[in-house]
Each structure stands twice: as structure tokens, then as C-alpha cells.
Structure 1
Amino acid sequence: MFMGCTSDAGKSLVCALVCRHLTNLGSNVTPFKAQNMSNNAAVTQEGGEIGRAQYLQAIAAKQTPSIDMNPVLLKPHSDKGAQVVVNGEVSHELLAKDWHQRKSVLWPAVTASLARLQQGFSQLVIEGAGSPAEVNLRKSDIVNMEVALHCNASVYLIADIDRGGAYAHLLGTWMCLSAEEQSLVKGFVLNKFRGEQALLHDANVWLEEKTGIPIVAVIPWTEHQLPEEDNFFHRSVWQANCLNIALIVYPYASNLDEFDPLVYQPGVNVVPMRDNQDLGHFDAIILPGSKHVAASRKHLAKTGLDKQIIKAAKQGVRVTGICGGLQILGERNLDPSSVEGETFDGLALLPLTTVYSNVKTTIQRSINYCDETIACYEIHHGQTQCSVQVDSFVEQATGWQLNNVQGSYLHDLLTNRKVCQDWLESLGWQGQCEDWNQVVDNELDRLCDKLDLPLSQISEHAGIAKA
């Protein structure tokens, strides 16, 4: 089991790589994270939601993603609130409960999923959340040491040495644990290291003298093209001689990793846009999904980005909305069930009206696109109707297009080679897209080859031999 001293220590990526490494060794392995907090979600074959990180880890393990791999998913929709997804479905009951009262409901779901996975797989790679040293959350813990104690897991603590203070983080985290919990910690892992490892020797000895626990592996800083768990770290500005795409990163933007095929495409420059800027010189504007569409729409009005999007659309700039972004492009969003908290106007760039309800659509889709079958998924509240006849975008009834403005409820469109190729070529780009799912799979193998030493050190220390 891998836990971090802090958030963003690299737990999710390490777990994904360990899953692929052990799978390559012949182990029948599966990922597990009891509770994730992220607005980046995927839909499983069962039609349930799990975190995108656990979806990637399942792919790394060459397993079919399942809701058991992430039985509890928290999707923030305000500074203090989050939608609670249990076993893949939204739990309206838990929204009304105080956080510390939820454990009695959530813990049985966690242990049931864990038991099913233990029965079906020989090896589990378990990821914690945040840090086990967050003593204010110990009472309601269902994801860190509570899980480790339940299944007697070997725990490896990960520290991000690039941000500084790694040894203090490791020692302090270990000291915050009870004696029983400390006994489960078998090793420390330093992640994102830049430099000569020999310089770490004295500090490694010092830490082991203090705790009795060795530094098992040092993972060097490694650039990669795998999706981020939650944050969108890509940064850029408008560049000459490129296809420039403005990605509107409003509050509660979701599933931003589905635009990775654009971010890493040669000759394409994706620029995250959060504040008021002139968008008329961009080749395209993308409005992504949102966990709280009304709040995202308010951000556009507050910053003045809404006026810039409308102005650019009238100038002929391509505007594409996905899911919540599609709803924002419409005329009216009605909320009789208070899903979004209020009824609000969209940008009126598409003749659409959306009506929200408590029913949430979560489904994997296979659709025909230009005589090819492509994989995608829907994950949204609300049903949308078009008031006048317009062209369909990708698929009728889930996507609409009026001149240079288009939107769709279908996620992961651009991970499909043909869709991405057509979309970029329509903007004047010249190049050759690859199937992004294959790119991700190849990237997992590339990283495992490059990081074979630290991954082998971890697996050997944990006593996992080649099958």
C-alpha cells in the first residue's frame, strides 16, 4: 500500500507504474483506492463512476476497470461541499450527513469492495489519500491506515523530494502514527528526485536510525505524457506558427485529461485560460466539462470571459463545448430540482435548453463515426433539447453544431484517432494523430522500462517475485 506524506507526492503515478511492473512480472494484480476526491471521473462497464486515476491504474494492470477499485468518489462542487459517489452511484442520502457521520455507511462499502478484489486477484496495489498524518481526519478515516490495518498491508510512504523537506515529511508522518500503524510501514520512497543519489546517503542513514525504516527506492524526476489525477499542470501562452487552442479552465472544470491528445500534439499549443483575455486570435476555444456548471458560468461572467467567448465566436473562432461546456453554450439552463442550485442563462451560442434533475447519466458508449466504431462515455446531470433544426456534432441527440459553434455530451472524443484528426484538420492543422489509448499504454511501458530499478527495488522489498 502506498501512502503520501502530502497530496501530489506522486502516489497515483507510482501505483500505476507498480501495477504495470507487477503485471509484466506475471502477477494477477488490481488497483484499489477506497476513497478518491477528484472531478476527473471515468465510467466503468457497469455504468458507475470511479476516479480517472484508478481507471488508469486498471489499464496499467491490464484489467477491466471496475467500481470496486474505487468504491467512494468525492466530487467537489463548492469550497465546502462535494457530491458523494458510492459504488459508482450518487448517494443523495450522504449529502445530508455530517462528514464524521458518513463512516458508518461508507466503511462497509469499502470493505465489501476490498473483499471482492482480494478474492479475485493475487496482488492488490492500494493507494491512500492525502496523508495518514492528517490527525483531524483520523476519526473518519476510510482510506489510509484504517484500510492498511484492515488487510494488514505493507505500507510504503512516499515523499516528493522536489518540493523540499522530504525527510522531515517522512519522519513527521511516521511519528504521527500509532505504534501498531508504524509496524505496518515497511519502507520509504523518495519521488521526483533530481541530482546525484550519492548525496542522499547520509540523510538516508539518519532517517533509518530515527525510525528503523529504510529508504527502499529513489524515483528520479521523469517527464511523461500520462494523465494527471486531478490538477491541470500544463502551462502555456499564445505562440506564433502554432495551432493555438484556448482551454477555459473555470472553477470545477472536470476531466481535463481528455484534452491531453491536443496538449502533446506537435504543432498544437493548448493555452489554459482562467482570466479575461482577448480570444479572437486563437484558432479554437474549448469549454470543458464542469462539476458545478452554474458556478463555472458565474466565473465566466465575473471575469468577463463570457463576453470574450461570444465576441470570438462572432468573429468566426471555433468554439467547442463538452458536457457542462455544452450546457454553458446553450440559451437556458433550468433547475427545478436544485441540482445546480439555481436556474441560469447560458451564452446563447447554441439554441439549446437544458433541464436538470437528480437522475445522473453515466454510461459507456460505442458509436459509429465515419464508418469507424469509437469509444466514449457520458457522465452528466440534465437533458438537453434543441429549439431549432441545426447540424449534429459527432452524434445526433448528444451533439449539436451551428456554424462555428459545436458541443457534445460525449467525453473522450479526442482520444479517438479519427475524431481528433478530423477536428484538428478542420482548423488547418497538418499532421498525423495516433490512437491516444495506445499512446498511454506505450507510455506506461516506457516509464516502467526507464524506472525499472526503483520499481524492482520496491517489488523485491515487498517480497513479490516474478511469477
Structure 2
Amino acid sequence: MAAACVMVLGTTSGAGKSWLTTALCRYYSNQGLKVAPFKAQNMSNNARVVEGIDGAWGEIGSAQYFQALAARAVPGVRMNPLLLKPEADTHSQVVLLGQVSEPLTALPWRGRSAVVWPQIAAALDQLRAENDVVVIEGAGSPAETNLHASDIVNMRVARHAHARCLLVTDIDRGGAFAHLYGTWALLPEDERALIHGFVLNKFRGDASLLAPAPQDLQERTGVPTVATIPMQWHHGLPEEDGVFDDRSTTPGAVHTTVAVVAYPRISNLDEFQPLKNVPGLRLQWVRSPADVAGLRPSDWIVLPGSKATAADLAWLRAQGLDQSIAAHAGRGGTVLGVCGGLQMLGEALIDPEGIDGNGPGLGLLPLVTVFEPAKTVQRTSAAFGPLAGAWAPLSGVAACGYEIHHGQTAQHPAMAAKGDVAREVMPGIAWQNPAGNVLGVYLHGLFEDTAVLHALFGAQAPTLDAVFDGLADGVARHFAPGVLDALIA
């Protein structure tokens, strides 16, 4: 018997689909059911490495990775069969069932849907056959009439799975009831029938003041408003696009600022989520020299991952941030580069194959990166060797994470011949400058490792299981009685 399917649709991007899908995965798992998440197509540069087909590692969107963990399932590529990783405003790398597909990347966007739908449907059908419940996340809005004919992620999936759908909206933005009604009204009659409930998300205030709008909406559509979920600044999950803001910082006195450079093609920002839960830490965006002007040497500048390293490095220089970062490092300030950020910290980017782009690096580590067509995608466990300076607490610490990168990094030969050598503190993965304040790593997910977090800060973020259970408890409280169970009956 095929699994019952519950689908979370949104009136807009950022309405709370990923959050609610994760919460429902844990809610149904807590009922003793075998649960899997599914999102047909995700557009994101936040990706995780998971089990692929025939034993190969593959990539899926980070949201589906966390949803699988919430469901107590092993994350796999079928849970997000199509991943689009933007490399420019009009171009994305296409990842199908975990692997980069050059032919699909080259196809026009509208021509891609017919090619990939059979594999998307097959992945969903396999998950339905293996589980009691599949919780499906939509993308954007299901009512984009210009996209409906080529849809492979919203109502086509809902029809294929006979899913019972929830439509969620962000009431904090304003216009929530218009969003809900307009979305419902733009759907064809047969698709309207799949909407079983409206959800008001991110509500602040007295819920009794919403009347009579929910009842009026139900009279117009026949669809009840089944939940009003309060605004939650500290739910513990990364935001859908990795974005954080000052409202989500931990309370108390700030002793360390972690300033993350927000270049245009940033990737894997979700890995910094645990830092938001460390008492006394403040995360902030950096987009101009003014953003780092007040940093102390004990504060961090982080160069995160990038989907377009050379282009983001050029952007960074155009803002004048290269000088600011160099000045911070020159004062002994702490600097961390992760993946693309590591590559930027070196002396040069060399691209003989036209993969990313050539360019001089920031010169804070005597390294050189050569881009190659082959892409490294793997889970990695390794221990740090001896480190100095601000990073000394990581000495000997074993860490688990993942690698997703084009290119290989090594010592700069000419500089090494003159004795200017970076300390390789994790073979082929991490290097440190002789002064000890600059560290570059290929390993994503460091701060999700409890040993790393404790070594650096003497702190421990809430476990993911505690976060997921909190989400599940929240939906149980805020949904009308019996609604969640009726969706799978």
C-alpha cells in the first residue's frame, strides 16, 4: 500500500514551507510511523552530501537533509531528485539524483521539465512504496500561471501523489488572507480540491483579532484555517536560504562577533546555524568595509563557501573588503575561510578548464588552487593536527563534515621553495598561516560537530533531536485538534 502523502505549499517563497515540512516529519515519526521527506526540485546553494545511487555520494538541498533527520530516515538523493545550484542570475548547475548533469545544465529551462519528470516521479513512487507517510515540500507558489504548464514541483507532484495539501503564508509580511485567497483562486478546480487547510505562519499578537477573516475565507473557499503559528526567532533550524539577522541572536552580553562575508554567490550558510545558539556570540553580515570597521582581533571574519569563487572574489575586491580583511588579519584578527573561502585566502586561482575563473587570491595563505572538471562530493572524517593561535583549541579534535568543491589546493611551489609554507593541519583539507590566526578548511559542517563547538567555545548547541522535537510539539499545539491525523487517515 502506498504511503499517505501530506504536501506543504506556500503562497510565496519564505512563507515557512521548509520549517513546517521538517516539523511534520518529526510529528509523524513520533507517532511510530515510517516517514520520508520529498521535494522534487530545490533551487539552492545550500547542499549536503548524502547516500547516492549505487553507493556513490550525492548532493541534495540542505532542507531535505534536515527533514530526513527529523523523520529519523537516512538522507538520500531520492528525497530531492533535482537540485539547481545558481551560478549566475540566469544560469544554474543542474544536479540530478545527486550528480551534476552537464546535458541538463545546458538545456533550456522549459525544455528540462519533460526530461526529468519521469525520474522525479519514480523517486517519489519508490519513497511512497517504502514508507507510511511522505511529507512533500513545494517550491515558491503553486499559482504562478506562467510556470503551471511546465510544473514539476508543486501541483503536478500533488496530483501524482494524491497528496492532501496545506497552504502556508507568512502573515508577518501583511496581506496574508489575500495571498491565501489569490493562490487558491488561481488554481484549477481539481487542484483546489487538494487544499485541505490554510496555515498562518509567523504571527505576532492576539490571535482573536484575526476574526472574522478566517471564517470569511472559509466561506469563500471551503478551506478552513487549521493553524496559526507564532513567530519563532529561536526555533533552532537554519532559515530556508541560510539568512540570519540580528533578531535571531542569542541573548546576553556579546563577547565575540562572527562577521560572515555575504558575497553574491554565497553557499552553505546553513552550517553556521549552531553559532546562533552559542551564548555570547553574535553573527552579522559583511557587505562593506564599514561592517568590519569596529571588529577586535578576537572577533572573526568568515569567508564562507561560494558557488562562483572567482566572481565573488572580484566582488569582494570591488567593495574594498580585500583590504579590510587583510588589515584585520594583519592586526592578528581571526580569519576563517571555508571551501571557496579557503580558495580565496590563497595566492592564486588557476582555471585551465574554464570551470570558475582565474584570479589572484587574497594572499593570506601561501596556497594555490587549480580548478578541475571533476567535482569532489564526499563525507569526510578527520582529526586536526597541532594548531597555533586562536585555533589551538582544535588541536587533535576529530571532526566530521562534508566536501563539495571543484578544484584542488596545494602549497604555492615558488613560495614553498623560499620557506613560506602554510601549515597543513588536516591533510589535503585544512591549512593555517604561521602566525596562527588564519585558517582555511575544505570541510563544511564544522560547527555542527559538537566536539568542535565545545573546543572553540566551551559550549554546546541544542541537539538536532531536541530541535526537531520542539518543532513537532509546536505544531501539535498550534494545529486544530485532529487535523494532522486526519491528513493521513
Q: TM over 0.5, yes or no?
A: yes
> What residue number does 2:76 align with?
66
Q: Which runs of 4+ in 1 moved over 4 A?
A: 369-373
Q: Deviations over 1:278-314 (max 9, x none)?
A: 3653522111101111121011111000111011111
71-80 or 8-17, larger mean C-alpha shift: 71-80
How far has the Cα of 1:372 moved from its partner?
5.7
CA distance in 1, matches of 2:334, 2:190: 58
CA distance in 2, matches of 1:21, 1:440: 14
| 3-state SS of 1:48 partner | strand
| 3-state SS of 2:51 partner | coil
> What residue number does 1:252 align with?
265
Report matched runs for 1:433-452 at 5 Å. Answer: 433-434=459-460, 436=461, 439-452=463-476
Determine whether 1:461 maps to 2:486: yes
Instruction: Check 1:196–1:380 CA distance in 2 against 1; reply closer, same or farther (3 A cut).
Output: same
Aligned partner of 1:203: which letter? A
How far has the Cα of 1:322 moved from its partner?
0.4
Aligned partner of 2:192: which letter? Q
Q: Deviations over 1:82-141 (max 9, x none)?
A: 111110111111121111000122111211110110111111000000001111111221
Q: Tell me, yes or no, if the aligned pair for 1:12 and 1:127 is still in contact at 8 Å.
A: yes
Determine whether 1:281 maps to 2:314: no
Instruction: Check 1:111–1:267 CA distance in 2 against 1; reply closer, same or farther (3 A cut).
Output: same
> What residue number does 2:3 align with?
none
CA distance in 2, matches of 1:158, 1:461: 18
Aligned partner of 2:468: which letter? L
> What residue number does 2:17 align with?
11
CA distance in 2, matches of 1:129, 1:148: 12
155-164 or 320-329, larger mean C-alpha shift: 155-164
8-17 or 218-227, larger mean C-alpha shift: 218-227
CA distance in 2, matches of 1:451, 1:44: 28
> What residue number does 2:41 align with?
35
Report matched runs for 1:84-163 at 5 Å. Answer: 84-163=94-173
188-197 or 110-119, larger mean C-alpha shift: 188-197
Determine whether 1:391 maps to 2:423: yes
CA distance in 1, matches of 2:294, 2:108: 43
Report matched runs for 1:205-354 at 5 Å. Answer: 205-223=215-233, 224-235=235-246, 242-277=255-290, 278=293, 281-282=296-297, 283-340=299-356, 342-354=357-369
> What residue number does 1:365 align with?
380
> What residue number does 1:180 align with?
190
Aligned partner of 1:12: which letter? S
Q: Tell me, yes or no, if the aligned pair for 1:280 and 1:311 is still in contact at 8 Å.
A: no
How far has the Cα of 1:457 moved from its partner?
4.5
CA distance in 1, matches of 2:399, 2:444: 11
Q: Tell me, yes or no, if the aligned pair for 1:38 and 1:229 is still in contact at 8 Å.
A: no
Cα root mean square deviation, aligned: 1.9
How far has the Cα of 1:390 moved from its partner?
2.6
Instruction: Check 1:264–1:361 CA distance in 2 against 1; reply closer, same or farther (3 A cut).
Output: same
CA distance in 2, matches of 1:325, 1:452: 41
| 3-state SS of 2:14 partner | coil
> What residue number does 1:428 align with?
none
How far has the Cα of 1:371 moved from its partner?
6.0
Aligned partner of 2:349: which letter? N
> What residue number does 2:453 align with?
420
179-188 or 296-305, larger mean C-alpha shift: 179-188
CA distance in 2, matches of 1:390, 1:94: 39
| 3-state SS of 1:135 partner | coil
Aligned partner of 1:13: which letter? W
How far has the Cα of 1:241 moved from its partner?
5.6
CA distance in 1, matches of 2:123, 2:398: 32
Q: Deviations over 1:41-94 (max 9, x none)?
A: 111033111111001101110111110100011111111111111101111111
CA distance in 2, matches of 1:390, 1:299: 26
How far has the Cα of 1:418 moved from its partner?
2.4
Instruction: Check 1:180–1:339 CA distance in 2 against 1; reply closer, same or farther (3 A cut).
Output: same
Aligned partner of 1:28: which letter? K
CA distance in 2, matches of 1:89, 1:433: 36
How far has the Cα of 1:421 moved from its partner?
3.1
> What residue number does 1:427 align with?
none
Instruction: Check 1:279–1:96 CA distance in 2 against 1; reply closer, same or farther (3 A cut).
Output: farther
| 3-state SS of 2:103 partner | helix
| 3-state SS of 1:360 partner | strand
> What residue number does 1:429 align with?
none
Instruction: Check 1:78–1:52 CA distance in 2 against 1; reply closer, same or farther (3 A cut).
Output: same
Q: Tell me, yes or no, if the aligned pair for 2:339 and 2:405 is still in contact at 8 Å.
A: yes
Q: Tell me, yes or no, if the aligned pair for 1:279 and 1:308 is still in contact at 8 Å.
A: no
The alignment covers a number of residue pairs equal to: 452
> What residue number does 1:165 align with?
175
Q: Tell me, yes or no, if the aligned pair for 2:163 and 2:194 is still in contact at 8 Å.
A: yes
How far has the Cα of 1:332 moved from its partner?
0.8
CA distance in 2, matches of 1:119, 1:63: 15
How far has the Cα of 1:377 moved from its partner?
0.6
How far has the Cα of 1:463 moved from its partner?
4.1
Instruction: Check 1:280–1:243 CA distance in 2 against 1; reply closer, same or farther (3 A cut).
Output: closer
> What residue number does 2:388 align with?
none
How far has the Cα of 1:367 moved from its partner?
2.1
How far has the Cα of 1:244 moved from its partner?
2.0
Determine whether 1:355 maps to 2:366: no
Report matched runs for 1:373-384 at 5 Å. Answer: 373-384=398-409
Aligned partner of 2:404: which letter? I
CA distance in 1, matches of 2:311, 2:184: 39
CA distance in 2, matches of 1:297, 1:28: 45
| 3-state SS of 2:212 partner | helix
How far has the Cα of 1:360 moved from its partner?
0.9
CA distance in 1, matches of 2:488, 2:430: 51
Q: Tell me, yes or no, if the aligned pair for 1:40 and 1:255 is still in contact at 8 Å.
A: yes
Q: Tell me, yes or no, if the aligned pair for 2:42 and 2:83 is still in contact at 8 Å.
A: yes
